[in-house]
Copies of this chain bind each other. A is one copy, B any other.
Amino acid sequence: MSCTCFRTDKLISVGPHPDSPLLMSERNPKSSIVVRLAGDSGDGVQVMGSQFTTSTALSDTDFATFPDFPAEIRAPVGTTFGVSAYQLNIGANPITTAGDSPDVLVAFNPAALKVSLPLLKDGALVIVNNDSFTSRNLIKAGYSDDPRDNGELDSYQVVNIDIARLNLEAVKPFGLSKSDGSRCKNFWALGLLMWMFDRDLAPTENWIRRKFAKKEVVRDANLKALRAGHAYAETAELSEAIPRYQVETAALPAGDYRGVTGAEALSLGLAAAGELADKSVLFCSYPITPASPLLHHLARFGDLGVGTFQAEDEIAAICAAIGASFGGVIGITSSSGPGIALKTEAIGLAVNAELPLVIVNSQRGGPSTGLPTKTEQSDLYQAVYGRNGDTPIPVIAARSPGDCFFAAIEAVRIALRHMTPVMLLSDGYLSNAAEPWKIPDIKNIEPISINATFETDAAQHAQSLVFRRDPDTLGRPWISPGTPDLMHVLGGLEKDYDTGAISYEADNHQRMTDMRAAKVAAVERFIPPQSVELGSAQGDILIIGWGSTYGPIFQAVKQIRQSNPSVSFTHLRHLNPLPGNLAELLGGFRQVLVPEMNMGQLSTVLRDKLGVDPVSFCKVSGQPFLISELVEKVMTMLPVVALASNDPVAKGHT
């Protein structure tokens, strides 16, 4: 069976192009479907996408989403660089990426069509907002001919609908201005989509009621638009042309679920870490894309023992977090690359002061201001090496939206155990992408313990109690102002190993430098050995991933393993220090492949720390990996003979 979805009345065949390496996987039918919504920044595509996602979640379907939007609030209407898109992959689990190539596209204007076409599967369903195909818009999008007429869409199934006009008609009774009325068209289109996927309108209707509670007219118009789109699909004469899909429900493990974006999960994780450590949390940040959502979520977590402070800049933000940590509250700061760069000097202060601190970096496209709304993993160098002096810190990364929760807890745990700043890497993709999430039971998570304070002994100099480090973790006790008899002074000057007093002494500096290195190395003793995600611990090729590439690598290796079981996949949580058994694990493979959304930064770390020389597969385009690119790359590394003998199907198409 080569189709991926069902239509009650008509079967839509959505399969890969015959040239695609995806063909390999055709033998096992995928029960997922990729939907892409695209329009102008002002078309409300992101809202439409997230509402469709919610309805997907509530229908027991696994999913992954990928919002992709321009850096401007409202980029110029009708241009290709102003296109805002929301891609969604839904189906039976495990869904781990938003999908390589859409099966369904809703294009609100010519520019959206133009930008999306190269991504589509052959035979994809394309729903076009007819009204927007004016000659002005066609020119803006860079079309010289109308693509609806010139054969460009021949290999797709095209449904033309006058969405704008139909929507305006529907909301006319509410007396909105034309521009306000036309803002409802995302809900009109959503209604249509909901019909196609047989979704319950109620949750979205409730959301609209809540959201526009204070603007009754807008509320009612949006509700009307939603229902009108739905009704149109069901009743209009065109309905014959509108396919209906039934997506297989997901076989997710039993439990309570919710949808979650990476930013939400990370915020919840920080709050949970506070609860697990029985400490309050102060989150200090300065807005920046794509890190700001953390601040926005946490600003609503006051009752969870979390405070937020919007500082005047990134330096003030990290410094306030350091001040909070000095004060006995878990200090967290957050930014993306350019803002993290500004925090560099202060990270060194936290290292020297041996204070706990978590620095969250939601990476985006660089260098400099770069591509603020695009995703990238190019701040790993900065995380591992990017400070003056010999100033190592632990670095960890989250792999998926839901995993951000656990990564946040782990970061706080390390920071408190070793009394050190910890860098937690997320990225623009993870921040905004959503997936269904089995709600974790916090009772099953190990509490975070605080290093013991030694008994106060009047005869003992306070400072030496303050710096009496645990021999295993090299973490010192966390003593804050307010504690009687343990007054001490922290600072950025080199300090005496025992007393913490300023010391310019040569031997002491060496000893402290060694201690700081040993402290970060000590983290390794507390983390689980690196395990293999897919495949066995020995074989031909090991693919090592980190961060948000988890999704596409997982899918790619799953596919590849059907024909090549000698390919395995491991994914790193800990980037500094690396797990102790990693070198050994790598040794079990003939080749190691590191796919990264940067120019090979993890490869550098592996060469540096383990002395291995992996194959780098780099992509720096602001877009996540496609499964197909990864499959293709791995195929080039496999011996052709082996491939041929293992996989007659693939052979036919290689």
Contact = CB atoms under 8 A, between A and B. Distances in A.
Contacts of A601: 390
A424 B623 CA distance: 35
A492 B71 CA distance: 13
Contacts of A492: 367-370
Given A504-B371, A607-B608, A598 B381 contact: no
Given A504-B71, A621-B509, A366 B381 contact: no
A349 B388 CA distance: 20
Contacts of A157: none
Contacts of A342: 342, 344-345
A81 B504 contact: yes
A185 interface: no
17 contacts: A71-B493, A337-B388, A337-B389, A340-B388, A342-B344, A342-B345, A344-B386, A348-B367, A352-B367, A365-B389, A367-B387, A370-B493, A374-B509, A506-B623, A509-B620, A510-B619, A513-B599
A420 to B, nearest CB: 12
A613 interface: yes
A459 B81 CA distance: 26
A391 interface: yes
Interface of A: 70-71, 81, 336-342, 344-345, 348-349, 351-352, 363, 365-374, 376, 378-379, 381-382, 384-391, 491-494, 502-507, 509-510, 513, 516-517, 598-599, 601, 604, 607-608, 611, 613, 619-623
Given A352-B370, A368-B352, A379-B388, A604 B608 contact: yes
Interface centre among A368, A373, A386, A613 (most CB of B within 10 A): A368
A273 to B, nearest CB: 25
A341 B338 contact: no
Contact of A338 (B379, B385, B388, B516): B388
Interface centre among A339, A390, A607, A611 (most CB of B within 10 A): A390
A492 B70 CA distance: 16
Given A367-B348, A607-B608, A622 B388 contact: no
A599 B390 contact: yes
Contacts of A502: 81
- Counted per complex, copies of this chain come to 2
Interface centre among A349, A363, A382, A503 (most CB of B within 10 A): A382
Given A342-B344, A342-B345, A604-B608, 12 more contacts: A71-B493, A336-B388, A340-B388, A341-B345, A363-B388, A367-B492, A367-B516, A368-B389, A370-B494, A381-B386, A390-B599, A510-B619
A117 to B, nearest CB: 14
A498 to B, nearest CB: 16
A613 B608 CA distance: 9
Which 8 A-B pairs rank lowest in CB-CB distance, beginning with the nearest?
A366-B389, A337-B388, A368-B492, A367-B389, A369-B492, A386-B386, A506-B621, A367-B391
Contacts of A366: 348, 387-391
A504 B622 contact: yes
Contacts of A513: 599, 620
Nearest to A363: B388
A145 to B, nearest CB: 22
Contacts of A507: 621
B622 A509 contact: yes
A367 B386 contact: no
A388 B604 CA distance: 15
